[in-house]
A and B are shown apart, each in its own frame.
Chain A
Amino acid sequence: MSEPLIELRNISKRFGGVRALDDVSISIRPGEIHCLAGENGSGKSTIIKVMSGIYQPDEGEIIIDGTPVTQLDPIQAVQKGVQVIYQDFSLFGNLTVAENLALNTYILEGRSRMDWRRARQMARDVLERLGVRIDIDADVETLPTSGKQIVAIARAILAEARLIVMDEPTTALTRHEVDALFDIVRDLQSHGIAVLFVSHKMREMLEISERLTVFRNGRKVAEGDMRDFDEASITHAMTGLELNDEPYLAQLSSNKAPVLQVSGLRVPDSVSDVDLTIRPGEIVGISGLIGSGRTEFARALFGMEPAASGQIVINGKDQFPRSVQQAIALGVAYVPEDRLSEGLFLTQSIERNMVVSILERLRKGLFLDHARMRNRTEEMFDAMQIAAPSADTAVGNLSGGNAQRVMLGRWLLTGAKILILNGPTVGVDVGSKAKIHRIIRDLARNEGLAVIMISDDVPELVGNCSSIHVMHEGRFVAELSGADMTEAGINDSLKSLN
């Protein structure tokens, strides 16, 4: 057994009162493909930052090539061969592929001259070695996501990486692109470069990884050879809590008129010919890769895709929402994917965040009716069980789960009948997640809301939906319900796509 390339022993890291990492250890051997799995908030990203020298651990040691390193800083980490590819790739969109590739090396070498000829040669060599064809003179911003990822990998290789950490590398890739990525990773392995995947896509990780470490709530809960795990045991390790997973059963009576009927919905370049009917109390899941058109589908229902066409009937009213305001008036609500940048006004109060979409209705004459605004907020504050000192607290001070409940509260105030949730529990800890699921189920069951739930999290969909559509290249390619609706079923369906 070879000596570990990098070993982190008994690492602890606190942020204020929160223990992000609690006595965790992980070791990576040269040339191995290792997978670090865990839910959001499990400490995955913290350990990456410790490994790359961005965070200093409060306790524990870091051992590289058998020698303990005190005070690992980012530059040292790079010199020791640790390279991290973040989800956003950290590339320069305004510079060419060649320059992006050469820049790091030149900085590392401490050069003061920009040698274009060598840069282009380096770029050509490394891309050839990876066996990919990319125009080295193209601006990086013109490349597709998979191309940017390859540039990021190539850059890590040029920096003489011995360990490449990839944060959720497959999220935005098609199956075909994932296969191409795995080929590259195996090639790296054959050159002795270790790869650490940080991912929650178990199916893909089972295919390629040799070893596995699982984190939950800042602790290591499992580790070992990939052979000793299967999807069920990994998922169990990741989520821990035995979630009472009886699937959601909508109390459907066929005499209830559908809330939403979509037929022939098209969005140029992203959605084609989608039909969907939802009755009150139903929770419909949509599974699919990023780029499958799932987000555009949701945006079209919410009046945000001006070029969309087709027929949308909401509560018997045949009207295609052409603006967000119109969609809201029709009773559609949308909780976007990225809560921080698309959802919340972080420095503003919970109250303002909740009433923002009903301000027009809170008007009395020229002015806003503050008393009524306060009443409505308090009601929703209690109904959503938000843990905060008062409705004047800035939303930026809330935890992910509480913040997401503010978003839900905002839409319930509008009297929404159709709730579209894009990644409803992204960045929410396990305990809060169950709470949010319960709220969503209650809303559907008791208030008769129709819910569309878009998620990467297959267990979440299976546990909460009455039926699930699999979306691919802008179409619904499979529908699962009842007994077919299992994790394996969806994963098989997703896997067969390319």
Chain B
Amino acid sequence: MAEIRTAPLVVEFPFTRSLGPVQSAFLTGLRERTVLGVRAGDGRVIVPPAEYDPVTAEEIRDLVEVGSAGTVTTWAWNPAPRRGQPLATPFAWVLVRLDGADTALLHALDVPGPESVHTGLRVRIRWAAERTGAITDIACFTPYDGPGSGAEPAAHSGEFADPVTGITTPARLDYTYAPGRAQSRYLRALAGRKTIGERCPSCRKVYVPPRGACPTCGIATDTQVEVGPRGTVTTYCIVNIKARNLDIEVPYVYAHIALDGAGLALHARIGGISYDEVRMGLRVEPVWTGDGTFPDHYRPTGEPDAPYDSYKELI
């Protein structure tokens, strides 16, 4: 079997989210070492608080202050912490019902081993040294031998100076991208400065780049066909805004190019000609630079323009 092509792929976003009034009060409260809950329609105190009643879905806004100590309602021992988790050493995941609350909050419990944890264990919050108004303002929980107060939680206005109204939560996922058979064949050929399309056995259309299936017939494209290297500009646009990390002077032209023998157009940059001279029907050829594994851009061949009828089905 041919070598499988793979490449690292990192997906990373700093998700920016606005907060509702209840979430805003809760997360601002954490910054101020105050834990707030919200009273639901059935009288239960929900911590962490929700904007809407979990039973009736009605808006709930009555905030109360609960304790920073509580009781473990269930736990799980994590022997191998993973990236992003609250503690870097083995810890217990816990659901904790804080004193005054009727529901439980998920977090980490810092204990030396699983023998130190049991359901019913009393724990309290260890606050993070730097707090910004986020669930991570709770660094983790630690065992606590004090009793619960048993007191009814007191009403709280939810008002703080400089309330947090949004959070930014960075998220990163790492992948190994594998393009599959058809695209691997295409990329391998491209590295050898050949452009390979694949033909549908039913409708005979040649797809470039091939994705492995004919979207009209729903079957595998099974024959490799060398196309180009020359082709025709079928349509184009003029790019006026410089893309980040892209060292190309603007304005430049990005075009759809129907390579000779291809059943549809691929897209690439046009160079070697002023942006205002590019036109539909322009004949172009690929330009390879250095040891590049794909064409850097396409440039005019100097041939006469292709007549419109020769490429109108490929626009």
A, B bound: no
Chain A positions within 8 Å of B, measured between CB atoms, are none
